[in-house]
Amino acid sequence: MALPIAAAAPRTSLLQTREALRRAMSEEMRRDPTVFLMGEEVAYYDGAYKVSQGMLHEFGPERVIDTPIAENGFSGLAIGAAMAGLRPIVEFMTWNFSLVAFDQIINNAAKIYQMTAGAYHVPIVFRGPNGAAEALGSQHSMAFESIYAHFPGLKVVSVGTPKDAYGLLKSAIRDNDPVMFMESEMLYGMKGEVPDEEFLIPIGKADLKRDGTDCTLVTWNKQIHTCLAAAEQLEKEGISCQVLDLRTIRPLDEQALFDAVCKTHRMVVVQEGYTFAGVGAEIAARVTEACFDQLDAPILRITNKDLNQPYNPTLEKMVLPSVDRVKDAVKLVCSRGKGA
């Protein structure tokens, strides 16, 4: 009898995050002529971070559009285009600049579907780098997940790997609702394996990046890598940690959070952003309300220190979450849970 032939492993390519994002946008623009990209320096300069490199040459200036430095204006234009049946991708040079377009995003993009009783969808993606990079100062270093997740009508995605960037951006472009798609300047050059065949990752589905038994680290965007590094070091000290990457902040994958805490009985949320009214506070509240009897210790949050981001690189590192701060928090919840 002939032995069964094992299925070949799917082919993958090693891509930078910027390359994965470019591949996702280019594939969607080839597939759907209503998709177009607009933003500051996305065309003739090939993108401030080279995410859109070469796209002007392929798709032309009618579909890869340089805009003035006027976020309120070009965001409003894109929202109108989405209402008229197009699918714009709007690149902010940094999410900090989205504050200039805050009225357009909140009072128009987020509310038009409800205010027109479903007559108009707003299929639009706002994307760009989010959070601190290196020595960019306080006006270019904020993380915006908690701000935009606060408002009904918006979906918020925050990615930390090339594979997730590709699969979730394709889903975001095809979604009929406004999607706030948050990347990281620090991760654009990071490489990772991405399958060569097309795939989509559902919005609203978390991913377990590492399994463990003693504590769950919940995080997203570039803090995934902080948590993975902390978990690796804690493993050598006899503490086993899960790392759960939310990937989507709204809608939130509550079931993944509940399943995780029911396994490890301890949780630390690691977020780039402020403690007060942050995503970590929302996660702690929901998990405590639903799974109180499963917790062996209070949920802890590791966030930015409560001050505006310093320009000085040494001070900047002190403000942001770090491997040592994560390790200390895990050890604290594990010591509180002993004998429970």
Catalytic, out of 19, 71, 91, 316: 71
> Which letter does DSSP use for residue 265 in this model?
S
Q: For residues 55 and 46, give the distance between their C-alpha atoms in angstroms, rounded to a whole number.
A: 8
From first CA to last CA, the distance across the chain in angstroms is 56
Tell me the H-state helices in the chain: 17-31, 55-59, 71-83, 102-104, 112-115, 145-149, 162-174, 223-236, 254-264, 279-291, 313-319, 323-336
Cβ atoms of 145 and 97 within 8 Å: the answer is: no
Amino acid at 239: I
Task: Mark whether 140 is an active-site residue.
Answer: yes
Task: Please answer whether residues 334 and 214 qualify as being in contact, where contact means their C-beta atoms are separated by less than 8 angstroms.
Answer: yes
**Annotated catalytic residue within 140, 183, 185, 225:** 140
Give the number of residues written for the chain: 340
Cα–Cα distance, 38 to 209 (Å, whole number)? 33
Residue 307, SS3 per DSSP: coil
Task: Report which of 121, 128, 138, 215 is spatially closest to residue 165, judged by C-alpha positions.
Answer: 128
For helices 323-336 and 223-236, give the axis angle rounded to 10 degrees: 60
CA-closest candidate to residue 130, choices 100, 96, 153: 96
CA angle 243, 248, 254 (to 5 degrees): 70
- The dihedral through the CA atoms of 210, 211, 213, 218 has a sign that is positive
Nearest of 53, 27, 28 to residue 42 by alpha carbon: 53
Q: List the catalytic residues.
A: 71, 140
